[in-house]
């Protein structure tokens, strides 16, 4: 005897697949004290930047026997506004601790910039970071056509930022992709804010308080090179045997236009 089942949909709910974009923190050390110091140093430049973001912990760069004080790490991440929800990679002991902490196993989860170069740590003066946050792929640009005053902050989430007016001292321009300032840049410029090491910073008059790409930064406490100071210039990140460093180069606009 055959039986039929009603295909009528419930009126009170629906069940559908959903994709949740995650920030990914790839751990390179289980030392929570070191992680805390370096994470606070990095996030201090962009306070509130990751507020309320769901987070994927990636243990794949750790030895499977590395002990991670996960409760302390999760408390630290939540203090910084992050919401740890899942993990991937790691050994059996790490997996058991993650499960006990209520994290979801997400072995197939991928950050949107997994194929991009790794995010780097602040090189001046902070030590190399053990954790990295990977970036989403930038899409269309956010265009700002007004001057930015001290205390103002603009963030181009998941895309490039184009500013057509002056960025005054005390102002901040932040982008997950590139930053273009077609005016004097006198405040802070943070490109590749979620780890895009290919991001660049461009300005028609280079006079910043700070520039940063994928966490590698330099401040005006060290005088800017004469060849770029108050000139058209761009900044990029270069990796080499000695680590990551920012390269600043003048833009010869006249010869390019010829």
Domains present along the chain, CATH in parentheses: 23-110 (3.30.70.260), 139-257 (2.160.20.70)
DSSP 126: S
Closest of 196, 214, 182, 213 to residue 138, by C-alpha: 196
**Mean local confidence (pLDDT), 87-99:** 92
**CB-based contact 164:186 (threshold 8 Å):** no
**What residues contact 5, with CB distance under 8 A and at least 6 apart?**
none
The confidence score (pLDDT) of residue 64 equals 86
Average pLDDT of the segment spanning 20-35? 86
Residue 82 has pLDDT above 50, yes or no: yes
Please give the Cα distance from 189 to 21 (Å, whole number): 25
Query: What integer is the mean pLDDT of 72-90?
Result: 92
Give pLDDT, residue 45: 61
pLDDT, tens digit, 9 for 90 and up, residues 168-194: 999 999 999 999 999 999 999 999 988
CA 195, CA 119: separation in Å to the nearest integer? 4
Angle in degrees, 0-180, between the axes of helices 70-79 and 32-44, rounded to the nearest 10: 10
Q: What is the pLDDT of residue 140?
A: 82
Identify the CA nearest to 235 among candidates 199, 184, 196: 199
**Confidence band (pLDDT; 50, 70, 90) for 252?**
confident
More confident residue, 104 or 239: 104
pLDDT at 258: 47
pTM of the model: 0.54
Reported as a pLDDT band with limits 50, 70 and 90, residue 7 is low
């Amino acid at each position: 005897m055959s039986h039929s089942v009603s295909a009528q949909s419930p009126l009170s709910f629906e069940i559908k697949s959903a994709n949740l974009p995650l920030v990914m923190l790839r751990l390179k050390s289980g030392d929570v004290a070191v992680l805390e110091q370096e994470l606070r140093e990095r996030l201090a430049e962009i306070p509130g930047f990751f507020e309320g973001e769901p987070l994927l912990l990636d243990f794949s760069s750790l030895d499977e026997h590395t002990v991670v004080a996960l409760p302390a790490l999760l408390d630290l991440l939540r203090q910084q506004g992050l919401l740890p929800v899942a993990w991937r990679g790691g050994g059996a002991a790490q997996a058991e601790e993650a499960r006990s902490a209520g994290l979801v196993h997400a072995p197939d989860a991928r950050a949107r910039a997994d194929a991009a170069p790794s995010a780097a740590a602040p090189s001046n003066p902070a030590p190399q970071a053990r954790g990295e946050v990977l970036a989403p792929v930038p899409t269309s640009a956010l265009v700002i056509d007004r001057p930015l005053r001290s205390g103002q902050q603009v963030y181009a989430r998941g895309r490039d930022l184009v500013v057509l007016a002056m960025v005054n001292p005390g102002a901040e321009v932040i982008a997950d992709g590139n930053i273009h300032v077609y005016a004097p840049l006198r405040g802070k410029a943070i490109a590749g804010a979620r780890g895009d090491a290919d991001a660049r910073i461009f300005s028609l008059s280079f006079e910043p308080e700070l520039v940063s790409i994928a966490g590698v930064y330099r401040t005006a406490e060290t005088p800017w090179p004469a060849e770029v100071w108050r000139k058209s210039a761009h900044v990029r990140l270069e990796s080499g045997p000695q680590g990551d460093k920012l390269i600043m180069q003048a833009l010869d606009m006249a010869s390019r236009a010829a």
